[in-house]
Chain A
């Protein structure tokens, strides 16, 4: 599985969405991505990519795209 697929799968599984819904998705734009969902999302991403996210990155992670950008620039994950 490519990193992009892995990343998408975490969103689909954690937030219980369809894969088409992931693109453009923002924090709090759906009920499932609230603070609880966010915590689950971070935990799942940390597991999937074997990383430990910093506080600033966790709270900066405000959309599907932003998360990708953070993983790419701060955790050397290539998409």
Chain B
């Protein structure tokens, strides 16, 4: 995937403790990891924005070892389920977490990470081009993974480098988890061009983050809509960040008002603000709004990335050729992933999509060919950039609470959980917060007499909207 030797003494990684790792050292770390793991092994990589986490990931991809990228703070029960379902041969995790797995033998320490050998014993049949697995939801611990190939990652990485015009002078600071496809694409692109990654798990609301940002002269960062709301709250526009070159936004639609504010800020300060569009199912990116159109086309997610193709289809599957007509967005390109896996056997599956992805997003294009996302076909919300499947939430709640009727609905960053039993309302909310590990302010329970249903017993979610739409 990457040729680190060409960048030798250039710095690949810097963390907020001041540790620096050159490309040469990264290469050595990779060799050590490679020497103890067989090719085509399956590894659960419990990610944090730490040097060991990135070094392990780089080694796995460069040596045909297949990682499943998970959040290192995934709830214990959910992780146990995933381990049981996929039976990986190894665990790559932060050193301080090894006590949680007393039955597993430690094979290796690299920087702040350790490698543990599991005792599942059996190997896997992995599809030859399968490179890595990512979760679709991030937080609910669903065993449904997206299967990404080496060719997918390479194509998308090259395309992003081209449209963002990246080179080895870039210093991106982490603002997103690396097990999240958008955060991962920033790592992939920077390792490819020989740039530097500034790694921190500190957040925008912490002084240490901004100190690290300034000290190391970050040139870019990415953010989901909620990131930009926080920056707005922080009166980001008044901060002096002379080294900052550009900001990207993805992971859901930013409200046009904020899009405009950041586009104006960028214009006034000689920086770039780039709104992008993508999905884990397309590796990471599918569309971007060129910085020089950020104001003129405010609210748009832009045009297709280099090497890709967009079109819209109507309900009958016919292509829409007129501007300003809504249809489902279809993407074609080499970054369209192989498909999903829901169990270990699925890891041997071939390419099921053959380069075409029906995104499930409803969109329009204007007279100039710029695309606007106007809605979603499927029942999920983006909460702080995390995809949360509403049907899955309903299933989880019903599995935990016997005889409880419930239905969840809402808008991005605000989920409403409808229940019919007042005495369970609080426990339901606490349960959903615990399972998703998302801030409770995103969830609200509403008690109603009964969940509206049609004659066939199907929940009428549209009728719930009146309770939360102002």
Chain A residues packing against B (C-beta within 8 Å): 14, 16, 27, 31-32, 34-40, 42-43, 54-56, 58-60, 62
Is B255 in the interface zone, CB < 8 Å from A? no
Roughly how many angstroms separate A43 CA and B210 CA in the complex, as a whole number? 20
Contact A55 B234 (CB under 8 A): yes
Is B205 in the interface zone, CB < 8 Å from A? yes
Contact B210 A59 (CB under 8 A): yes
- The listed residue (A14, A32, A43, A58) touching B205 by CB distance below 8 A is A58
Roughly how many angstroms separate A55 CA and B209 CA in the complex, as a whole number? 13
Contact B230 A35 (CB under 8 A): yes
Is B226 in the interface zone, CB < 8 Å from A? yes
Contact B206 A36 (CB under 8 A): no
Contact A59 B439 (CB under 8 A): no
- The listed residue (B206, B226, B234, B236) touching A62 by CB distance below 8 A is B206
Roughly how many angstroms separate A60 CA and B206 CA in the complex, as a whole number? 7
Is B17 in the interface zone, CB < 8 Å from A? no
Interface size on B, residues (CB 8 A): 24
* Total CB contacts across the A-B interface at under 8 A: 50
CB pairs A–B below 8 angstroms (24 shown): A14-B441, A16-B440, A27-B205, A32-B439, A35-B204, A35-B230, A36-B384, A36-B438, A36-B439, A39-B205, A39-B229, A54-B235, A55-B234, A55-B235, A55-B236, A58-B205, A59-B205, A59-B206, A59-B207, A59-B209, A59-B210, A59-B234, A62-B206, A62-B207
Is B466 in the interface zone, CB < 8 Å from A? no
Tell me the nearest residue of chain B to A34, going by C-beta.
B439
**Residues in B whose Cβ lies below 8 Å from that of A32:** 439-440
Contact B437 A38 (CB under 8 A): no
Contact A27 B234 (CB under 8 A): no
**Residues in A whose Cβ lies below 8 Å from that of B384:** 36
- The listed residue (A37, A54, A55, A58) touching B441 by CB distance below 8 A is A37
In the A-B complex, the 6 residue pairs with the smallest Cβ-Cβ separation, listed nearest first, are: A36-B439, A35-B203, A38-B205, A59-B207, A35-B205, A55-B234
Tell me the nearest residue of chain B to A36, going by C-beta.
B439
**Residues in B whose Cβ lies below 8 Å from that of A60:** 207
**Residues in B whose Cβ lies below 8 Å from that of A54:** 235
**Residues in B whose Cβ lies below 8 Å from that of A14:** 441
Roughly how many angstroms separate A5 CA and B303 CA in the complex, as a whole number? 53
Tell me the nearest residue of chain A to B413, going by C-beta.
A36
Contact B441 A31 (CB under 8 A): no
* Minimal beta-carbon separation of A33 from chain B (angstroms): 9
